[in-house]
Amino acid sequence: MSVSELAARLERPFSGDGDVAIDGVASLESAGPGDLGYVRSSAFASRARASAAAALVAPPDIDVGDRPVIRSEQPGFDFVRATRLLHPSAAVAAGIASSASVAPDASVDPTASIGPGCAIGARARVGAHTLLHANVTVYDDAEIGADCVIHSGCVLREATRVGARVLLQPGVMLGGDGFAYVAGVGGTIEKVPQMGRVVVDDDVEIGANTTVDRGALGDTRIRRGAKIDNLVQIGHGCDVGEDVLIIAQAGLSGSTVVEKGAIVMAQAGVVGHLTIGERAVVGPQCGVHKDVPARVRVLGSPQREGRLQQKIVAALPRLPDLLRRVRAIEKRLAPGGGGDGNG
C-alpha cells in the first residue's frame, strides 16, 4: 500500500511523497526499495539516513533523510501495527483433516481448521476460525474460543478453558497435574488429587514448551493479554494478571499471584503463595521469597530492592582489596604487630 494509505490506517501524520508504494518491512540495514523501516530514537538517526528503506516510521523531529516518513511517538509499536497491515495472517482453511480424531459429541465450528493427527475428546469445543496445527490433543470437556492458533504438539487437558485470539506455540501443556504430595504414615508419599482447571483469558500468548498446571482445588488463571515466553513453569493455583510478561525459564510455584502489568524476567524463581504487585519487576535469576510490592523492582537471590542489589554487586569487586587492608590493620593492631595495641 502507499505511504499515505498506511499512515491513514495507522492514524499517524506523514511527510514526503505519499504515493511511494510499500510492500514489505525490514531492518534499517537490510531494507531496500519498497521496504518500510523504523527508527527507535535519535541514536539511530545516522543509520536511518544511510538506509535504503523506501519509507520510515520515526519519532517526531528526527532527521531521517529525504524520504517519506510516518511520524510516531511510539515508532516500535506503530511499526508492528504496520507489519500486520502489510503482512496479514493467512486465512484459515476450514475443515477437519482425515487423520484427525474428533469425538462424536465434540463441537467444532465449521470455520475452524483441524490439522492432521489432532485428537479432540468428548464434549470438547473448538471456536470459529480457530486453527489447530498437526498433532494437537484436546482432552474431554476442554474449550477453545474463536480465532485461536494452537501449534503442533500442544496438549489441553480435561476441562481447560481457552478464550479468544489465544496463541499457543509448539509443545505448550495446559492443565497437567501440579506437583503436590503429602507425607503419609511411615514416610510414604501420597499424591494430592488436582481437581481444578486451567483458565486462559482472551489475547494471551504462551511460548513453546511452557507448562501451566491445573489447580488443586480452584483454577489456575492466565488473565487477558498476558504474554508468557518459552520454557516457563506456572504452578497449580497461580493467578497471572492482565498484561503480565513472564520471560523464558522463569518459574512460579503454586498459588503465586502476579498482578496486572508486572514483569518476571528470565530464570527468576518465585516461592509459592506470594504476591508480585501491580507493575512490579522481578529481575533475571531473582530468587523471590517474599511478596514484592507494587511498582517495586527486585534483583538478586535472595531478592533485594533493585538499587540496594546494584550497590552490593558494584561493591563485590572491591572486597579482595578491602579484606587485604583489614587484615593489614588487624596485624598492626595485634600485640607485637608493630602497633601500640590500643587501637
Question: Which residue numbers are catalytic?
Answer: 236
Closest CA to 268 of 311, 306, 216, 303: 303
Strands 149-150 and 55-58: unpaired
Q: Do 109 and 130 contact (CB within 8 A), yes or no?
A: yes
Please, which residues have CB within 8 angstroms of residue 144's CB and are 6 or more apart in sequence? 124, 125, 126, 127, 130, 132, 138, 150, 156, 162, 166
Amino acid at 99: S
Please, which residues have CB within 8 angstroms of residue 333's CB and are 6 or more apart in sequence? 339, 341, 343
Count of beta carbons in the 10 Å neighbourhood of residue 11: 9
Cis bond upstream, residue 302 (ω within 30) = yes
Three-state helix/strand/coil letters over 63-114: CCCCCCEEECCCHHHHHHHHHHHHCCCCCCCCEECCCCEECCCCEECCCCEE
Strands 69-71 and 14-15: antiparallel
